[in-house]
């Protein structure tokens, strides 16, 4: 076949350009360490990587949420432990107070400590979390949940009436794709909606208040002991549920962690360059370019005019 | 002897011509579009004598251009198609690269926005967390605008390229008309012999024209060619050239259209131009840029609408129901510049999940009936009144068309949404993180149980359809009746709400309506007869994160494409789509380039200059010239011999 001089030149030039462009691509891959430089290199993997990146971000956020929930729950745990300790001390005082060995004066003295414990309990119930929100006021984080609302006279004795200004909203945090865990309990369940020795609703403050009134007026009965016993049982139950939520958070944290590792592996498989393969390719492309250049040099020297 | 001299001279002249032509070939070895030339040699008319005919030597009868019309036309076709592929690929790669860059793409901004929302859910009362969420929302909106602007820049670039190309085509058309005229004059002057170099020049111009548009040619007897572009529009007829011009598209002012002749009155031939760089630009606008803008806009529209809808179901820090968080882009339709008035149909987004990416041509038939043509599937919907198309309610009745009116619209709901999305809220306290309503056991003024409840029932979740009921005039009271297994509703609500602990525990209840809003409750536990619950207005709920959680869930919820795709998923699909189209363009470009190179090689194989061949010809013609010169010398010798013989 007849070939024009121009086509011969163009062909050698084109083959060099082609080799160069392949070499350039490989070079970019090696420089960035990435297999996919733009979505057109692998459209499916590019779309998938958007998804994977989102999952990665999401799960990292779940991990953050978990540590947040843990901090709130640990705080609640501590508060409840203290509250139970207070109740146990109050129960001891109740036992002492109902003993026949104590006279009215001594009972008065006991009542002073009971009143102190009551203040402590009120302090616990009005604890704030790290954000400055009241831990036990439900959704109304800025509202001080517990306080004395007034007094009532029953049988000639004056009792305090306690009130709850929080609400019954339980806050939950997203800790997994389909998992939400409550990061606190509202004060209504913890301190208000308790049952006394007779199974009648009574709040914990009223229980302690009733006991101190009885001690102060020397009309101690066995009911306060029963009340406190019930309150301890109910608070311990809530404390147990907090503990089990903390455990669940630990489990979820490690599940999330595993998932994150898997996502990163998949992303690495999809995006990262196989260096051995790329370097082999680079070498063969370099050899190809060199050969094309040499061929060009040799072919260009050929001309019949050299012999005329 | 005179004969001998004459024959020798004829040879000298003929080979001089041949050598001239060889030298012309050699000097034009690198001239683009040059076809090598050959001198055709013929014997001169012989002289008759008694002994027969004596040859009278040689003459150059013709200078021929070595040329294969079929191959040249093939080269033009491949030039057009490979140029289309090249322009298309070049422009598509720009979008591809834009979306490839993780720093520039939308995905990281979306992720950050929904992460910051989770931080608000973690600590709803924290102003810094709320401020951070507003900042990420702002950068998300910026990112929408940024990418939208880059896409618009590409449209401007495509428009400019179209304008430039039309200018080129016009220049070429004029040159071709002129050269046609020149060729016909020269040919007439040369007695019908072709002016080879002019023909080459004209072919080169036609090839340049074929880089921009599809070209077909018809040869005329006088040496002119008539040139048609696209699907047969006459560009050059004889020595007359028609001009192309640019005007805005009938529907989209930001898009150029190619017009034959007068820009105001000429026909729009954009769709008819076929291959070439014009075809590549138009193809890119139709098949890559516009669909990308539409799906990107759908993302903006879907996100803004879904987010606002959920945000309205929450309560902000100041006890107000949530207002619009994003400025939601309104669906768009574009009217033809031929319309009787500028009125547009009234469009309302009614279903985000049903939003599509198809465009519809909505047309009034000039009598009484409206119809909508899906421009992808060609499906027709008719008649239209108030009709929902792909989740957008289209109301054409507000236009008030009467018989004789002309109305044509393109419905492209999300075409501008990425530009139109904005952020409305700038006050962190206005983020509606809390729930609108709250529920629980009925309590007295001191927050102590009212009854108190003997059972274990509880209200775990309150779902409302909208915020029209907020604030409730009175609490909704619920008193349980375990004989009938229902709650008797009171206060703001009336009637009963069924709850059977055996089957309904933890399930969402049937809806009941208060103040035009439908409410559903998730109830659990075993309530007893007489147990009382209330659902009332939420307030002071700084630590309540219920709506923030619901908003955060939108980040991974399948809210788009018929409820099958999340925001990120839809974005991923868009990237994959552009990637696949660019990849396809790359493959096509590769194939077209190979075909073009082969066609060019075939033309060159026939018409191109080969220097070795010319060297051989040089030698051949030189030798023939020398031999002819020798003939003259021989004639001189013969003549001398004769003179010597008679010199006495």
A–B CB contacts, 8 A cutoff, strictly below: 239
Contacts of B580 in chain A (CB under 8 A): 40, 43
pLDDT level of residue B648 (50, 70, 90 thresholds): low
Structure tokens at B53: 């005919």
Most A CBs within 10 Å, among B130, B140, B447, to test the A interface: B447
pLDDT at B80: 94
Nearest Cα of chain B lies from the Cα of A169 at a distance, in angstroms, of: 7
pLDDT, average across residues B596-617: 92
pLDDT at B556: 86
Contacts of A61 in chain B (CB under 8 A): 114-115, 118
pLDDT at A257: 94
Structure tokens at A281: 């390719």
- Number of Cβ within a 10 Å radius of residue B300: 28
Most B CBs within 10 Å, among A54, A71, A183, A200, to test the B interface: A54
pLDDT at A37: 84
Contacts of B440 in chain A (CB under 8 A): 167-169, 188
Give the predicted TM-score (pTM) of the model.
Answer: 0.87
pLDDT at A31: 92
Q: Report percent pLDDT > 90 for chain B.
A: 74
> In whole numbers, what is the pLDDT of chain B averaged over residues?
91
Q: Are B491 and B512 in contact (CB under 8 A)?
A: no
- Hey, which residues 584-603 in chain B have their CB within 8 Å of chain A? 586, 597, 600-601
pLDDT, average across residues B602-616: 92
- DSSP structure string for B160-215: HHHHHHHHHHHHHHHHHHHHHHHHHHHHHHTTT---HHHHHHHHHHHHHHHHHS-E
Structure tokens at A160: 């305090």
Kindly tell me if the per-residue pLDDT of B532 is higher than 90.
Answer: yes
- Least confident interval from A264-268, A298-302, B311-315: A298-302
- Hey, which residues 438-467 in chain B have their CB within 8 Å of chain A? 438-441, 443, 445-449, 452, 459
Contacts of B122 in chain A (CB under 8 A): 64-65, 68-69, 173
Nearest Cα of chain B lies from the Cα of A51 at a distance, in angstroms, of: 6
ipTM of the complex: 0.83
pLDDT per residue as tens digits for the range B74-128: 999 999 999 999 999 999 998 888 887 767 788 889 999 999 999 999 989 999 9
Most B CBs within 10 Å, among A50, A182, A192, to test the B interface: A50
Nearest CA in chain A to B574: A47
Note the Cα B554 to chain centre separation in Å: 30
Nearest CA in chain B to A173: B122
> In whole numbers, what is the pLDDT of chain A averaged over residues?
91
pLDDT at B2: 64
pLDDT per residue as tens digits for the range A253-272: 999 999 999 999 988 888 88
pLDDT per residue as tens digits for the range A135-158: 999 999 899 999 999 999 998 999
pLDDT at B451: 85
Nearest CA in chain A to B572: A47
pLDDT per residue as tens digits for the range B260-301: 988 888 888 888 888 899 999 999 999 999 999 999 999 999
Q: Which of B539, B540, B576 has its CB closest to that of A44? A: B576
pLDDT at B272: 86
Contacts of B597 in chain A (CB under 8 A): 10, 14
pLDDT, average across residues B158-166: 93
Q: Which of A38, A180, A201 has its CB closest to that of B449? A: A201
Kindly tell me if the per-residue pLDDT of B1 is higher than 70.
Answer: no
Provide, for chain A, the percentages of residues in helix, strand and coil under a 3-state DSSP scheme, each rounded to the nearest 5. 65, 10, 20
Pairwise CB contact (< 8 Å): B611 & A134: no
**Block residue for tokens 């492309």:** A285
Distance CA B408, CA B338 (A): 8
3-state secondary structure of B374: strand
pLDDT, average across residues B541-545: 91
Cβ-proximal residues to B102 (8 Å cutoff; 6+ apart), any chain: B108
pLDDT at A231: 93
Give the closest residue to A119 by CA, choosing from A197, A212, A184, A195: A212
- DSSP structure string for B39-104: EEEEEPPPEEETTEEEP--EEEEEEEE---HHHHHHHHHHHHHHHHHHHHHHHHHHHHHHHH-TTT
Rounded-to-10 torsion of CA B527, B531, B535, B540: -100
pLDDT per residue as tens digits for the range B411-434: 999 999 999 999 999 999 999 999
pLDDT per residue as tens digits for the range A202-256: 999 999 999 999 999 988 888 889 999 999 999 999 999 999 999 999 999 999 9
pLDDT at B504: 92
**How many angstroms separate the Cα of B424 from the Cα of each of B124, B137, B428?**
20, 10, 11
Distance CA A299, CA A15 (A): 13
Nearest Cα of chain B lies from the Cα of A159 at a distance, in angstroms, of: 15
Nearest Cα of chain B lies from the Cα of A164 at a distance, in angstroms, of: 5
pLDDT at B73: 93
3-state secondary structure of B362: strand
Note the Cα A285 to chain centre separation in Å: 51
Kindly tell me if the per-residue pLDDT of B368 is higher than 90.
Answer: no
Contacts of B435 in chain A (CB under 8 A): 139, 169
Contacts of A10 in chain B (CB under 8 A): 597, 600
pLDDT per residue as tens digits for the range A43-97: 888 888 888 888 898 899 999 999 999 999 999 999 999 999 999 999 999 999 8
Structure tokens at A197: 């020795």
């Amino acid at each position: 076949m007849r070939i024009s001089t121009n086509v011969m030149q163009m062909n050698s030039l084109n083959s060099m350009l082609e080799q160069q462009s392949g070499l350039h691509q490989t070079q970019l891959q090696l420089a960035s360490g990435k297999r996919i430089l733009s979505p057109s290199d692998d459209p499916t993997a590019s779309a998938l990587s958007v998804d994977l990146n989102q999952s990665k971000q999401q799960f990292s956020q779940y991990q953050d949420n978990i540590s947040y929930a843990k901090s709130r729950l640990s705080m609640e745990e501590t508060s409840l432990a203290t509250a139970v300790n207070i109740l146990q001390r109050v129960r001891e005082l109740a036992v002492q107070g109902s003993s026949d060995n104590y006279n009215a004066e001594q009972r008065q003295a006991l009542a002073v400590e009971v009143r102190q414990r009551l203040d402590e309990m009120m302090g616990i119930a009005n604890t704030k979390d790290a954000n400055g929100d009241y831990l036990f006021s439900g959704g109304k984080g800025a509202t001080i949940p517990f306080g004395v609302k007034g007094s009532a006279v029953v049988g000639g004795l004056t009792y305090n009436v306690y009130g709850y200004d929080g609400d019954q909203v339980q806050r939950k945090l997203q800790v997994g794709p389909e998992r939400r865990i409550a990061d606190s309990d509202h004060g209504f369940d913890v301190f208000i909606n308790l049952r006394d020795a007779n199974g009648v609703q009574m709040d914990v403050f009223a229980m302690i208040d009733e006991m101190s009134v009885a001690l102060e007026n020397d009309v101690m009965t066995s009911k306060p002991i029963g009340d406190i016993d019930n309150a301890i049982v109910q608070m311990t139950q809530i404390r147990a549920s907090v503990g089990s939520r903390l455990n669940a958070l630990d489990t979820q944290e490690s599940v999330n962690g595993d998932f994150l590792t898997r996502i990163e592996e998949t992303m690495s498989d999809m995006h990262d360059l196989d260096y051995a393969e790329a370097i082999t390719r680079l070498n063969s492309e370099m050899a190809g370019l060199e050969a094309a250049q040499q061929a060009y040099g040799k072919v260009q020297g050929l001309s019949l005019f050299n012999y005329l | 002897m005179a004969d001998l001299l004459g024959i020798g001279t004829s040879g000298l002249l003929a080979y001089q011509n041949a050598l001239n032509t060889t030298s012309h070939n050699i000097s034009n070895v690198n001239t683009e579009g040059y076809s090598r030339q050959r001198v055709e040699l013929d014997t001169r008319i012989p002289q008759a004598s008694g002994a027969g005919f004596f040859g009278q030597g040689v003459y150059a009868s013709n200078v021929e251009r070595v040329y294969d019309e079929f191959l040249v036309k093939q080269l033009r076709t491949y030039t057009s198609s490979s140029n289309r592929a090249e322009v298309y690929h070049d422009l598509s790669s720009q979008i591809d690269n834009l979306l490839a860059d993780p720093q520039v793409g939308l995905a990281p901004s979306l992720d950050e926005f929904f992460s910051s929302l989770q931080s608000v859910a973690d600590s709803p009362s924290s102003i810094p967390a709320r401020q951070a969420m507003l900042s990420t929302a702002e950068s998300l909106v910026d990112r929408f605008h940024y990418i939208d602007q880059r896409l618009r820049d590409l449209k401007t670039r495509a428009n400019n390229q179209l304008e430039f190309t039309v200018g080129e085509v016009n220049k070429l058309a004029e040159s071709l008309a002129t050269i046609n005229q020149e060729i016909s004059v020269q040919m007439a002057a040369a007695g019908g012999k072709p002016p080879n170099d002019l023909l080459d020049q004209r072919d080169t111009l036609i090839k340049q024209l074929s880089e921009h548009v599809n070209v077909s040619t018809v040869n005329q007897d006088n040496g002119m060619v008539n040139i048609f572009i696209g699907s047969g529009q006459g560009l050059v007829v004889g020595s007359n050239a028609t001009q192309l011009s640019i005007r805005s598209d009938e529907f989209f002012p930001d898009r150029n259209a190619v017009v034959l002749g007068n820009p105001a009155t000429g026909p729009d031939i954009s769709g008819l131009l076929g291959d070439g760089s014009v075809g590549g630009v138009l193809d890119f606008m139709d098949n890559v840029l516009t669909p990308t803008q539409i799906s990107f806009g759908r993302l903006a529209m879907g996100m803004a609408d879904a987010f606002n809808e959920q945000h309205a179901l929450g309560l902000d820090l100041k006890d107000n129901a949530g207002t619009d968080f994003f400025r939601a882009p309104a669906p768009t339709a574009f009217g033809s510049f031929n319309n009787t008035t500028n009125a547009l149909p009234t469009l309302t987004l009614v279903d985000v999940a049903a939003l599509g990416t198809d465009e519809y041509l909505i047309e009034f038939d000039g009598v009484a009936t409206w119809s909508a043509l899906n421009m992808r599937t060609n499906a027709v919907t008719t008649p239209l009144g108030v009709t929902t198309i792909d989740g957008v309610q289209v109301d054409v009745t507000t236009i008030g068309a009467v018989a004789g009116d002309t109305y044509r619209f393109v419905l492209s709901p999300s075409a501008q949404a990425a530009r139109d999305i904005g952020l409305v809220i700038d006050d962190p306290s206005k983020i509606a993180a809390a729930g609108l309503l709250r529920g629980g056991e009925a309590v007295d003024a001191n927050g102590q149980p009212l009854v108190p409840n003997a059972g274990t029932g509880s209200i775990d979740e309150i779902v409302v359809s909208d915020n029209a009921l907020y604030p409730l005039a009175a609490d909704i009271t619920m008193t349980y009746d375990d004989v009938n297994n229902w709650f008797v509703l009171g206060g703001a609500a009336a009637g009963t709400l069924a709850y059977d602990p055996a089957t309904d525990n933890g399930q969402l209840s049937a809806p009941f309506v208060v103040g035009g809003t439908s409410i559903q409750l998730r109830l659990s536990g075993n309530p007893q007869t007489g147990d009382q619950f209330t659902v009332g207005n939420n307030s002071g709920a700084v630590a309540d994160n219920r709506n923030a959680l619901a908003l955060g869930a939108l980040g991974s919820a399948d809210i788009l494409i018929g409820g099958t795709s999340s925001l990120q998923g839809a974005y991923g699909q868009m990237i994959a789509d552009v990637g696949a189209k660019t990849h396809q363009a790359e493959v096509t470009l590769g194939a077209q380039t190979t075909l073009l190179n082969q066609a060019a090689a075939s033309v060159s194989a026939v018409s191109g200059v080969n220097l070795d061949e010319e060297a051989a010809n040089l030698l051949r013609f030189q030798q023939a010239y020398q031999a002819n010169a020798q003939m003259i010398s021989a004639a001189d010798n013969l003549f001398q011999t004769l003179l010597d013989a008679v010199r006495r």
